[in-house]
Structure 1
């Protein structure tokens, strides 16, 4: 069975993120997209526009000294412009370790991601990890 185009787009995005390939990520994200990061920490909030999203991804790498790793678990699609990418996230920062499961709900229009709504399994753990 062929991979659904939305699943292929999300998979390509996860692979690019893992490689640190920001040019490929930029090509997958609409110029006016928004990435919603949950929590109550310095990185939480809404990142509006392709540049703001890419800048946030770069900050993740800087804040974790490049230790952030995503293990893609699965991708589910609804065939109507939504995909959910589940992954395990591991990172180290300021003597703290993060090992959590989460997902991003992607809204896809045409061949671009227009909205990314991130969810984490343990919001308290995430807030503690990313706190200053």
Structure 2
């Protein structure tokens, strides 16, 4: 059975992110896409617009962790109505801190483009401690 198109774009997005292929990610998102990052730490908040997502958030994930940020996609679930939900495993090092946590993202997809990403983490306090 073929993978649902929404699952395919999300999978391709995770693969591009892991390769550091920001141009590929730009091609998968709408220009006014928003990525919502939970918590109270310095990286938390709403990144509106593709440039803010790529340059303001994703590049900081790499720079703040010296390139050690890794995300392993575990599952993708789709509803066939423009939503996909992922479960992933994140590891990274930042100074003397290490994070090894589960999380996920709820994607909204219109046509073949991602329009919104709502990130979720297993433990808000762990995330805040790591990024602060």
User: How big is each residue's C-alpha offset from its partner over 1:35-75, in whole Å with a ceiling of 9 and x where there is no partner?
Assistant: 00000000000000000000110111000000011111010
User: Normalising by structure 1, what TM-score?
Assistant: 0.98
Deviation at 1:94, TM superposition (A): 1.6
State the aligned residue count.
131
Q: Hey, what does 2:38 align to over in structure 1?
A: 38
| Distance in 1, Cα, partners of 2:131 & 2:73 | 21
Q: Hey, what does 1:112 align to over in structure 2?
A: 113
| Distance in 2, Cα, partners of 1:60 & 1:109 | 26
Unaligned runs of 5+ in 1: none
Q: Hey, what does 2:11 align to over in structure 1?
A: 11
Deviation at 1:34, TM superposition (A): 0.3
Q: Hey, what does 2:131 align to over in structure 1?
A: 130
Tell me the secondary structure at the aligned position of residue 100 of structure 2: strand
Q: Hey, what does 1:74 align to over in structure 2?
A: 75
Superposition RMSD in Å = 0.4
| Distance in 2, Cα, partners of 1:30 & 1:40 | 26
User: How big is each residue's C-alpha offset from its partner over 1:67-124, in whole Å with a ceiling of 9 and x where there is no partner?
Assistant: 0111110100000000011100000002100000000000000110000000000110
Q: Hey, what does 2:87 align to over in structure 1?
A: 86
| Distance in 1, Cα, partners of 2:125 & 2:29 | 29
Unaligned runs of 5+ in 2: none
**Moved segments of 4+, more than 3 Å:** none
Q: Hey, what does 2:62 align to over in structure 1?
A: 61
